Structure 1
Amino acid sequence: MVSVFKPQIEQLAAYKPPLDGRDPARYTLLDFNERTIPVGDHIKQALVDFIHSDRLQMYPAYGDITQQLADYCQVQEPQVMITNGSDHGIELIIRAVGGVGDDAIIPGPTFAIYGQVATVEGMSIVAPDYRKGEGYPVQQVLAAITDRTKIIVAASPNNPCGTAISNEQIAQLAKAAPNAGILVDECYFEYTRTSATALLAQFDNIFITRTFSKTWGLPSLRFGYVLSTANNITRLLAMRGPYDINQLAVVAAKAALEKPEYVDDYIAEVMGQSKPKLEAFLTEHDIEFWPTTANYILTFPPQPEALKQALQAAGILVRPRVDSEGRQGLRITFGTLPQTERLMAAMAEFFAR
Structure 2
Amino acid sequence: MSIFKDHIDAMTAYTPPLEGRDPVAYTLLDFNERTIEVVEPIRQALHAFIDGGRLHMYPSYGDIVEKIAAYAGVEAGQVMITNGSDHGIDLIIRSACQAGDEIIIPGPSFAMYGQCARFEGLSIVEPQYTREGGYPVAEVIAAVTEKTRVVVVSNPNNPCGTLVAPDEIVRIAKAAPGAAILVDECYFEYSKVTVADRLLECPNIVITRTFSKTWGLPSVRLGYVLSVADNINALLNVRGPYDINQFAVVAVSTGLDAPDVSLAYVDEVMTVSKPMLESFLDEVGIAYWPSAANYLWTFPEEPQALELALREARILVRPKADGANRLGLRITIGTVEQTRRVIEVLRQALA
Same fold (TM over 0.5): yes
1:78-227 to 2 correspondence within 5 Å? 78-227=77-226
Aligned to 1:65: 64
* 2:334 maps to 1:335: yes
Q: Is the 8 A contact 1:133 1:291 kept in 2?
A: no
Show the counterpart of 1:236.
235
1:24 alignment counterpart: 23
Classify the secondary structure of the residue corresponding to 1:252: helix
Q: TM-score, normalised by structure 2?
A: 0.99
- Give the aligned residue type for 1:33: N
Report percent identity of matched pairs. 57
Q: 1:9 offset after TM fit, Å?
A: 1.1
Find the aligned partners of 1:59 and 1:92 in 2 and give their Cα distance.
22
Report the aligned-residue RMSD. 0.7
1:129-170 CA distances to partner (integer Å, 9 max, x unpaired)?
010021211011011100000000000000000001111111
User: How far does the alpha carbon of each residue in 1:19-45 deviate from its partner, in whole angstroms, 9 at most, with x for none?
Assistant: 111111111111000000011110010
| TM-aligned CA deviation for residue 264 of structure 1 | 2.4
Q: Structure 1 residues 4-13 or 79-88, which shifts more?
A: 4-13
**Residue 4 (structure 1) shift:** 2.0
Q: Which runs of 4+ in 1 moved over 6 A?
A: none
Q: Report how far residue 222 of structure 1 moved.
A: 0.4
- Residue 323 of structure 1 deviates from its aligned partner by 1.1
Count of residues paired in the alignment: 351
Map Cα deviations across residues 176-235 of structure 1 (whole Å, 9 max, x no partner): 111100000000000011101111011111100000000010000000000000000000
Question: C-alpha deviations, 1:70-96, integer Å up to 9, x for none?
Answer: 000110000000000000000000000
Which structure 2 residue ranges, 5 or more long, are not aligned?
none
Distance between the aligned counterparts of 1:252 and 1:321, measured in 2? Answer: 32
Residues in 2 aligned to 1:263 and 1:135: alpha-carbon distance in whole angstroms: 30
1:215-271 Cα distance to aligned partner (Å, 9 max, x none): 010000000000000000000000000000000000000011011122221111100
Q: Aligned partner of 2:270: which letter? A: M
C-alpha separation in 2, matches of 1:203 and 1:275: 33
Q: For residue 55 of structure 1, what is the aligned residue in structure 2?
A: 54
With normalisation by structure 1, the TM-score equals 0.98
SS at match of 2:145: coil
Distance 1:289 1:230 in 2: 40
Which amino acid in the other structure matches residue 262 of structure 2? V
Q: CA deviation at 1:171?
A: 0.7
Amino acid at match of 1:101: G
Q: Distance in 1 between matches of 2:187 and 2:323?
A: 22
Report the counterpart of residue 320 of structure 2 in structure 1.
Answer: 321
Tell me if the contact between 2:199 and 2:205 (Cα under 8 Å) persists in the aligned partners.
Answer: yes
Give how far 1:288 is off: 0.6
1:283 counterpart = 2:282: yes
Unaligned residue ranges in structure 1 (runs of 5+): none
1:266 counterpart residue number = 265
Deviates more, 1:62-71 or 1:18-27: 18-27
2:215–2:263: 8 Å Cα contact kept in structure 1? no
Structure 1 residue 326: Cα displacement: 1.2
- Deviations for 1:263-283, whole angstroms, at most 9, x for unmatched residues? 221111100001001001001
CA distance in 1, matches of 2:152, 2:262: 27
User: Amino acid of the residue matched to residue 40 of structure 1?
Assistant: V
- Contact 1:204/1:229 (CA < 8 Å) preserved in 2? yes
